[in-house]
Amino acid sequence: MMKRTVLATAVALVSGFAIHTAAVAAAGEPIQPIKPPASINIGMVELGKKLYFDPRLSKSGIMSCNTCHNLSMGGTDNIPTSVGDKWQQGPINAPTVLNSSLNLAQFWDGRAADLKAQAGGPIANPGEMAFTHTLAINVLESIPAYVREFKMVFGKDKIDIDQVTTAIAEFEKTLVTPNSRFDQWLLGKKDALTKQEQEGYALFKDSGCVACHNGEAVGGNSFQKMGIVEPYKGNMPDGRAAVTGKDEDRFNFKVPTLRNVELTYPYFHDGAANTLTEAVDVMGRLQLGRKFTKEENAKIVAFLKTLTGDQPTFTLPILPPSSDATPRPTPFK
Amino acid sequence: MMKRTVLATAVALVSGFAIHTAAVAAAGEPIQPIKPPASINIGMVELGKKLYFDPRLSKSGIMSCNTCHNLSMGGTDNIPTSVGDKWQQGPINAPTVLNSSLNLAQFWDGRAADLKAQAGGPIANPGEMAFTHTLAINVLESIPAYVREFKMVFGKDKIDIDQVTTAIAEFEKTLVTPNSRFDQWLLGKKDALTKQEQEGYALFKDSGCVACHNGEAVGGNSFQKMGIVEPYKGNMPDGRAAVTGKDEDRFNFKVPTLRNVELTYPYFHDGAANTLTEAVDVMGRLQLGRKFTKEENAKIVAFLKTLTGDQPTFTLPILPPSSDATPRPTPFK
């Protein structure tokens, strides 16, 4: 009931003093508007953007970060689990890269502390890009324009994997999605949401979804068990327990962000839910012990679709060509 | 000898009357500067750009036109033969999409008359995107933002494959690369090329390379036999004969454009030549019966690198999300 009171107060305030109360409304809410990053190294971002799109960081020469975290499609690949080198099936759904700088840790099990630690993972994962850090550096060192750009950005004579992941992480920090209709509403534009969407948000709070999906990213800031009230009936890896070794962390996963959730289907760690309607239904039953009515479900889905923000827009990077000395990709070996 | 005289005359003219003689120089040369397209339907281009980047036109949901014709990498995939659905190995090197509107026909064997005819091929090729035109249309028809955009562009209530390939072809018409240093030189900037590059161009003409590699695209305007003087020692498909059924067309291929050739490695229909040095050497011996010296080879390579033009620059398209009704990709079925 306290949550309902907070909303009622916020709504009352917003209708009274549109501009001034915007900050108040946001301050009183469990979800906060996305803030664009305040301190960004532009040269590093431009280098990181190239690396993010460069398939020469894979053994095959055809997979880049953007293959599974496609920035044309909400920072995901929109398939249940990703396709890796030699068409290997990935074990878990690729999380969106959008707003991932807001996560408390990276990967579903949080095994990487931050974006920089994450970025090196897929490159060297035999089931993903199937390369090695050493080979990736050999490739980059053989490309004169990269050598110059790394030197400009990092001021060193040699490229190393630390510089590579630092640059990719810096680019990823720019991949935030402010200005969703929900954030506009939080920031004081009271007509940014329809009545149904506002009711969906009220229901999202009252029924307890916000217990896990809160903060700037509407998730991403805690690990929670999948299947609190009822066990999940899909593929079930160990989750967080694989990192901590603790039995109580079994089936715990990082709560995914709900920002841009309209774009990041299919849902859950195994990508088993194709639609938001299905995902809301399963979450209600398994996590909250609540069967949402068709109307309630539709309201929550309507609210969730207001979380789609401005997608990162930038010019497709043009990659520097390989030189005669560049080791060639080996897609079929 | 006539060619040498033409060049000498042109050079003399350029040094005398820089501006006026630019047109004369270009007019007298076997290679013409690239002209940007003069009549483009912008709405169709924007739609075609989305389709070009949309992996939902493939069975797996992860392959788009841009997978093999990557616009970050000279419109190619920079591997000998492409990777198709389920990691199938393609039979032939993916030609660059850059300046492909200038080709007399599409594919190495010219089996598609134009870009529109080409665009439908890979979507439905079981070894490439492995989809069907019907399924692709089902996907597009299920995405409300696409339905609206097709209606805006084509003024019809139903999407069909003809509209899809028309839009992709219109986008591809914009993928020309003007303003290379060589074109600047053709257009009168006499210091745009170094002495070595100019000597390379003279050698390129005098030794007969221009017999096939001429015109605006420096190729792309005729079919020629691979291995005129000596047979080619690599993988050798039938080429043009597979289309015409004529024995005299065996081992004939569309002459590839040399525009941006610095970016479109590896070379030849089987991608067997990794470097320009190697490609120039093989071409000299097999097509012209001439063994270029190391110095001659270096001059020609230096000239070829002046053919890299302005790469198409545009904002990475953001694709409209699937709806609940959209058929899901099946990468592992």
Identify the CATH number of the domain in which residue A87 sits: 1.10.760.10
B164 lies in the same domain as B147: yes
Residue A304 pLDDT > 50, yes or no?
Answer: yes
B54 lies in the same domain as B93: yes
In chain B, pLDDT over 90 holds for what percent of residues? 90
> What does the alpha-carbon distance between residue A27 and residue B177 come to, in Å, rounded to a whole number?
51
B24 lies in the same domain as B69: no
> Do the domain assignments include residue B51?
yes
DSSP state of A153: H
pLDDT tens per residue, range B122-149: 999 999 999 999 999 999 999 999 999 9
> Do the domain assignments include residue B319?
no
Amino acid symbol at A312: P
B183 lies in the same domain as B127: no
Q: Interface pTM (ipTM) of the complex?
A: 0.92
B residues 37-56 closer than 8 Å to A (CB): 53-56
B residues 68-87 closer than 8 Å to A (CB): 70-74, 77-79, 83, 86-87
Task: Say whether residue B315 is in contact with chain A using an 8 A CB cutoff.
Answer: yes
> What does the alpha-carbon distance between residue B209 and residue B205 come to, in Å, rounded to a whole number?
6
pLDDT for residue B18:
39
pLDDT tens per residue, range A317-328: 999 999 999 999
> Do the domain assignments include residue A263?
yes
Residue A160 pLDDT > 90, yes or no?
Answer: yes
E strand intervals along B175-226? 223-225
pLDDT for residue A61:
98
B156 lies in the same domain as B95: yes
Chain B residues within an 8 Å CB radius of A316: 71-72, 313-316
> Do the domain assignments include residue A312?
no
Beta carbons of A331 and B53 less than 8 Å apart? no
pLDDT tens per residue, range B10-54: 333 333 333 444 444 566 899 999 999 999 999 999 999 999 999
B59 lies in the same domain as B122: yes
Residue B193 pLDDT > 70, yes or no?
Answer: yes
pLDDT for residue A327:
98
> Do the domain assignments include residue A322?
no
> Do the domain assignments include residue A324?
no
B62 lies in the same domain as B152: yes
Nearest by CB to B60, from A62, A83, A275: name it: A83
Number of domains chain A is built from: 2
Domain end residue (candidates: A135, A157, A173):
A173
> What does the alpha-carbon distance between residue B307 and residue B217 come to, in Å, rounded to a whole number?
10
> Do the domain assignments include residue B191?
yes
> Do the domain assignments include residue A101?
yes
> What does the alpha-carbon distance between residue A171 and residue A194 come to, in Å, rounded to a whole number?
34
- Give the pLDDT mean for B284-311: 98
Residue B216 pLDDT > 90, yes or no?
Answer: yes
CB neighbours of residue B2 within 10 Å: 6
pTM of the model: 0.92
Across chain B, mean pLDDT equals: 93
Which contacts qualify for B1-9: CB closer than 8 Å, 24 or more apart?
B3/B30, B3/B205, B3/B206, B3/B210, B4/B202, B4/B205, B4/B206, B7/B201, B7/B202, B7/B205
C-alpha dist (Å) from residue A42 to A103, A151, A170: 22, 15, 9
Q: What domain range includes position A94?
A: 42-173
Residue A183 pLDDT > 50, yes or no?
Answer: yes
Chain B residues within an 8 Å CB radius of A83: 60, 62, 331-332
How many cross-chain Cβ pairs, A to B, lie less than 8 Å apart? 104
B48 lies in the same domain as B84: yes
Residues of A marked as catalytic: 128
A202 lies in the same domain as A102: no
B84 lies in the same domain as B184: no
Domain end residue (candidates: A142, A173, A204):
A173
> What are the structure tokens assigned to A89, written together?
């099936």
Nearest by CB to A77, from B62, B86, B318: name it: B62
A279 lies in the same domain as A190: yes
A26 lies in the same domain as A54: no
